Amino acid sequence: MEIPYTVEVRPDTGLTNGKIGIWLFLASEVMLFGALFASYILIRTGAPDWPRGDTILNVPLATFNTIVLITSSVTMVMAWASLMRNRFGTYRLYMGATILLGGVFLVVKYFEYSHKFELGLFPSTNNFLAIYFTLTGLHMLHVIGGMAVNAYFWGPGAKLWKTNPEWFRNRVEHSGLFWHFVDLVWIFLFPTLYLL
Amino acid sequence: MQATTTTDHAADIDRHVRIYISVFVTLMVLTIVTVAISRLHLPVPIAVSVALLVATVKGSLVACYFMHLISEKKLIYAVLGLTAAFFVVLLFLPVLTHATGFWIHHQ
Tens digit of each residue's pLDDT, chain A (196 residues)? 778 899 899 999 899 999 999 999 999 999 999 999 989 988 888 888 899 999 999 999 999 999 999 999 999 999 999 999 999 999 999 999 999 999 999 999 999 999 999 999 999 999 999 999 999 999 999 999 999 999 999 999 999 999 999 999 999 999 999 999 999 999 999 999 999 8
- Whole-angstrom distance, CA of residue B42 vs CA of residue A49: 17
Cβ separation of B24 and A19 shorter than 8 Å? no
Separation in Å, CA of A172 to nearest CA in chain B: 12
3-state secondary structure of B41: coil
Does the structure show a pLDDT above 60 at B90? yes
Whole-structure pTM value:
0.93
Of the pLDDT bands very low, low, confident and very high (cuts 50, 70, 90), residue B95 is confident
User: Searching chain A, which residue's CA lies closest to the CA of residue B44?
Assistant: A196
3-state secondary structure of B11: helix
Does the structure show a pLDDT above 70 at B2? no
N-to-C CA span, chain B: 75
Please report residues of A whose CB lies closer than 8 A to that of B13: 81, 84-85
* Mean pLDDT in residue range B16-45: 94
Cβ separation of A195 and B48 shorter than 8 Å? no
Chain A contact for B53, CB < 8 A? no
Does the structure show a pLDDT above 70 at B101? no
The predicted complex's ipTM stands at 0.93
Write out the DSSP string of chain A. Answer: -PPSSSSSPPTTTSS-HHHHHHHHHHHHHHHHHHHHHHHHHHHHHHSS----GGGTS-HHHHHHHHHHHHHHHHHHHHHHHHHHTT-HHHHHHHHHHHHHHHHHHHHHHHHHHHHHHHTT--TTT-HHHHHHHHHHHHHHHHHHHHHHHHHHHHTGGGGHHHH-HHHHHHHHHHHHHHHHHHHHHHHHHIIIIII-
Does the structure show a pLDDT above 60 at B103? no
Chain A contact for B17, CB < 8 A? yes
pLDDT digits (tens, 9 = 90+) for B50-71: 999 999 999 999 999 999 999 9
pLDDT value of residue B102: 57
pLDDT value of residue B8: 72
Does the structure show a pLDDT above 90 at B96? no
Chain B contact for A38, CB < 8 A? yes
Does the structure show a pLDDT above 80 at B12? yes
Separation in Å, CA of B80 to nearest CA in chain A: 7
* Mean pLDDT in residue range B15-19: 95
